[in-house]
Amino acid sequence: MGSGETNRDGELLDLTASSRRGADEADVALLLEGTYPLVSGGVSSWVHQIIQALPEIQFALYFIGSSPDAYGKPKYDLPANVVHLEKHYLSTALEAGAPKSFRSCPAAYERSSQLHDYFREPKQGLPGDLIQAFFGELGRPTGLTRSNFLRSKESWDQIVNSYNRHCTDPSFVDYFWTIRSMHAPLFYLADLARSIHPCKAFHSISTGYAGFVGAMLRHLHSRPLILTEHGIYTKERKIDLFQAPWIRDAAEVFSDRLEDDIGYLRRLWIRFFEGLGRIIYDAADPIVSLFEANRERQITDGASRPRTQVIPNGVDVARFAALRAKRADPPPPIVGLIGRIVPIKDIQTFIRAMRMVCSRIPTAEGWIIGPAEENPEYAEECKDLVAQLGLENRVKFLGFRRPDEVLPQLALLCLTSISEGLPLVLLEGFAGGVPAVATNVGSCGQLIRGIDEADLALGEAGALVSIANPPETAAAIVGLLQDAQAWKSAQQAAISRVETFYTQGQMVQRYREIYRQAIDN
């Protein structure tokens, strides 16, 4: 596959010869964009956890990164059931080579144009024959090749046509290069997909470029594509595209309004990833999200409801259960906020709420547990606010601490974030016997109140409050701290919920079933 060849290491890292049998031995190919095993983080830990927990399944890993120099050494020791690892980099896709000859393919452009019309209509399903033809001719010498896309008159005409019809940004040169640089990787990815050894099942850990390869593999080999989304790719991409950290937060708060303010070209990028998302949702089954709200979001973005399912993250309950006994009874009135000190966590609302809590319960304390390095300016503001409100002795900044260390000392967890996914800290707190007051964002409602009948019946594991509302937050905290009965029942609900629905064992079991079904299909 041309230039891609040089970037595929072939070098199988620290894989030892005895246990590595090669791509043809793999049951499942994992498609990993900018994550495991070269990048550490929540998603990577999750992948590592799944691979380790399913030793009976052989995995081939396909890492897709931006450019080789953006990543260091692997961050994980690969488990024995990883039989193959390849690394591919998109940067090579943008290095346009000399123009090669190409065949004219007006029909392919016509189909591409039709497909784009579908992308502009978010509610419509994608027509199967168009998608099939698209994957069939993408990058094929007889179809739509990269040279053709980069050099041909047909390609130019289509770009000009779309610019004239849709673009509201005046700069043609920007539009032109945006279109080019967003589509050029698809040809590289198509070549990559054709080079991947067919497996019994493909599993992509995001939509985006990795998901696109997955969708193409699904069409090439008629083997199932499993999709797991930890976040929502387009939403994260949108944040990437803003690039400035302060916009990231503003974008979360004023998501709708900002949509109108951002430039056309940025919206184009977002729409591009939304389009990719729809192709991927169309190919993937099952489509897994971590919690209910994200599932709804997937459905809004084009996933078909029957294929979607929620598999929440699970925690090692036994490890945290041991902490429960270490807590004094009754617990001292200490409220902990575990998280990075950044605006998205809205630490200042927590501090203001603690002012009101301390007026009612003078012995109460608020602990802010988390690193401040990411946004020192904001951390400074928070400390100033603590001083202004005269809370120096009541609100403490502890820096990073291990949960095992702080959880036994807390009566309550508080989460004032304006945006969350599935916060692991709540699950860990629940397992450790700490109920929580949390804002109603992401999956927090699901974690505090429950989601279905059986879950709701377990009761509330604390309280839900609206965002940026110190009085409501304070009232909820005071309510739980002053009413021992309420606290006890919230703790009980928290423990039952995490033990019933959010254990690591359950999560692994569900993936085991998904893989089994896909492999046997």
Residues that bind other proteins (CB under 8 A): 96, 99, 150-153, 155-156, 160, 163-164, 170-174, 176
CB of residue 263 to other proteins, shortest distance in Å: 12
CB of residue 451 to other proteins, shortest distance in Å: 49
CB of residue 495 to other proteins, shortest distance in Å: 59
CB of residue 103 to other proteins, shortest distance in Å: 16
Q: Are 421 and 231 in contact (CB under 8 A)?
A: yes
Q: Are 517 and 27 in contact (CB under 8 A)?
A: no
Closest C-alpha to 276, from 234, 307, 236: 234
Nearer to other proteins, 118 or 176 (CB): 176
Residue 230 token pair = 């930890």
Nearer to other proteins, 160 or 451 (CB): 160
Nearer to other proteins, 175 or 233 (CB): 175
Cβ neighbors of 19 (< 8 A, separation 6 or more) are 80, 81, 83
Which residue type occupies 219?
H
CB of residue 93 to other proteins, shortest distance in Å: 13
Nearer to other proteins, 180 or 194 (CB): 180
CB of residue 176 to other proteins, shortest distance in Å: 5
Burial profile 7-28: b = 16 or more Cβ within 10 angstroms, e = fewer: beeeebbebeeeebeebeebbb
CB of residue 109 to other proteins, shortest distance in Å: 14
Cα separation, 434 vs 415, in Å, equals 13
Nearer to other proteins, 155 or 443 (CB): 155
Nearer to other proteins, 160 or 299 (CB): 160
CB of residue 146 to other proteins, shortest distance in Å: 13
Residue 266 token pair = 């940025």
Nearer to other proteins, 174 or 236 (CB): 174
Q: Are 265 and 168 in contact (CB under 8 A)?
A: no
Closest C-alpha to 97, from 228, 3, 236: 3
Nearer to other proteins, 159 or 414 (CB): 159
Nearer to other proteins, 73 or 153 (CB): 153
Nearer to other proteins, 100 or 488 (CB): 100
Helices (H) and strands (E) in the chain, counts: 24, 13
Residue 182 token pair = 């967003």
Q: Are 332 and 453 in contact (CB under 8 A)?
A: no
CB of residue 119 to other proteins, shortest distance in Å: 22
CB of residue 104 to other proteins, shortest distance in Å: 14
Looking only at the bridges linking them, the beta strands covering 201-204 and 308-310 are unpaired
CB of residue 265 to other proteins, shortest distance in Å: 11
CB of residue 435 to other proteins, shortest distance in Å: 55
Nearer to other proteins, 184 or 288 (CB): 184
Q: Are 505 and 50 in contact (CB under 8 A)?
A: no
Q: Are 259 and 172 in contact (CB under 8 A)?
A: no
Identify the burial level of 341 via C-beta atoms within 10 angstroms of its C-beta, where 0-12 means exposed, 13-18 middle and 19 or more buried.
Answer: buried
CB of residue 157 to other proteins, shortest distance in Å: 9
Burial profile 252-283: b = 16 or more Cβ within 10 angstroms, e = fewer: beeeeeeeeebebbbbbbbbbbbbbbbbbbbb
Q: Are 279 and 233 in contact (CB under 8 A)?
A: no
Following DSSP, what letter does each residue of 192-238 receive, concatenated?
HHHHSPP-SEEEESSSHHHHHHHHHHHHHH---EEEEESS-HHHHHH
Nearer to other proteins, 176 or 397 (CB): 176
Nearer to other proteins, 116 or 180 (CB): 180
Q: What SS3 class is residue 368? A: strand
Residue 468: CA atoms inside 13 Å, Cβ hemisphere, count?
5
**Three-class SS string for 475-518?**
HHHHHHHHCHHHHHHHHHHHHHHHHHHCEHHHHHHHHHHHHHHH
Cα separation, 510 vs 27, in Å, equals 17
Looking only at the bridges linking them, the beta strands covering 225-229 and 334-338 are unpaired
